[in-house]
Amino acid sequence: MNFTVPQIAKMIDHSILRPEFTLEDVREGCAIAKKYDVASVCVRPCDVSVAVDLLRGTNVAVGTVIGFPHGDSATEIKVAETELAVHQGAKEIDMVLNIGWLRSGDIAAVEHEIGMIVKAAGTAHVKVILETAYLTDEQKLAACWAAERAGAAFVKTSTGFAPKGATIDDLALMRSAVSAKVQVKASGGVRTLDAIMAMTAVGVTRFGTSSTGEILQDLARRQVSVPGGRA
């Protein structure tokens, strides 16, 4: 498929999540997001209000992570995190499901918790991070089905802090598991334009990456050499 730079940019959540990042790193990340007019930034919970201030008046949404990166916070804590983030201006919520519950087969508890986060998020979009590196295919399918039943807007592969990130096989499986009402987000090791192009081919519509500038610059260079300005 052919995409322009603005089209790919609006499929990117620019990630600013590493624990060692300073406030200057957050400001620089938001500047990159603003420059390229990406879909959103995904920041640490402590940085939501900063990012909202920096991106006010732009078309870049602010998102944050909940129960990150392990997913094992108590449900009440995840709900409180979500409520605070939304109060501070977050429009997208990337929650890590309870991996241990899922692996134990307690799908009802997983679904209930996702539903609680969806309720707390209100109009903010909830993306459910499966952390696929730790799951069997059967568990990935069960998680996707639970996320859709609970009202999530996206299912997402990874936090980027597990041994393995997004793979084409996992993304294709996740896309097959949910209806057209639920989008699929790839995250974890998404660092190149070629990776994004391959993932769009299996139905991915959102990407979490910290390599935004490099990816979009690569696309711009390719467009120069392709008649019609598309790559």
Segments making up each domain of the chain, as ranges: 5-221
In CATH, which of 3.20.20.70, 3.40.50.2020, 3.30.70.260, 3.30.300.130 is domain 5-221? 3.20.20.70
Torsion of CA 51, 57, 59, 60, to 10 degrees: -10
**Under DSSP, is residue 112 helix (H, G, I), strand (E, B) or coil?**
helix
Answer for the pair 113, 78: CB distance below 8 angstroms, yes or no.
yes
Answer for the pair 34, 52: CB distance below 8 angstroms, yes or no.
no
Structure confidence by residue, pLDDT tens digits, 34-44: 999 999 999 99
Whether residue 156 lies in the annotated active site: yes
Q: Whose CA is closest to 135, among 174, 83, 108, 179?
A: 174
Structure confidence by residue, pLDDT tens digits, 202-231: 999 999 999 999 999 999 999 887 655 555
**Percent share of the chain, pLDDT over 90:** 95
> Is the model's pLDDT at 134 over the cut of 70?
yes
Please report the pLDDT score of residue 88 as a whole number.
98
Please report the pLDDT score of residue 229 as a whole number.
53
Find the catalytic residue in 10, 156, 170, 218: 156
Confidence of residue 98 (pLDDT cuts 50, 70, 90): very high
Structure confidence by residue, pLDDT tens digits, 46-55: 999 999 999 9
Confidence of residue 2 (pLDDT cuts 50, 70, 90): confident
The pLDDT mean for the chain works out to 96
Whether residue 94 lies in the annotated active site: yes
* Distance, CA of 22 to CA of 156 (rounded, Å): 26
Instruction: Give phi and psi for 95, each to the nearest 5.
Output: -100, 140
Whether residue 185 lies in the annotated active site: yes
* Distance, CA of 128 to CA of 183 (rounded, Å): 10
Please report the pLDDT score of residue 227 as a whole number.
59
Cβ-count burial 70-88 (b if 16+ within 10 Å, e if not): ebebeeeebbebbebbbeb
Please report the pLDDT score of residue 225 as a whole number.
72
Structure confidence by residue, pLDDT tens digits, 106-121: 999 999 999 999 999 9
Q: Whose CA is closest to 177, among 135, 220, 214?
A: 135
Query: Mean per-residue pLDDT for 49-66?
Result: 98
- Half-sphere exposure of residue 185: CA atoms within 13 angstroms, side-chain side: 34
Find the catalytic residue in 10, 78, 127, 185: 185
Structure confidence by residue, pLDDT tens digits, 166-176: 999 999 999 99
| Burial bucket for residue 57 (CB in 10 Å: 0-12, 13-18, 19+) | exposed
Structure confidence by residue, pLDDT tens digits, 17-34: 999 999 999 999 999 999
Find the catalytic residue in 94, 127, 140, 170: 94
Answer for the pair 41, 58: CB distance below 8 angstroms, yes or no.
no
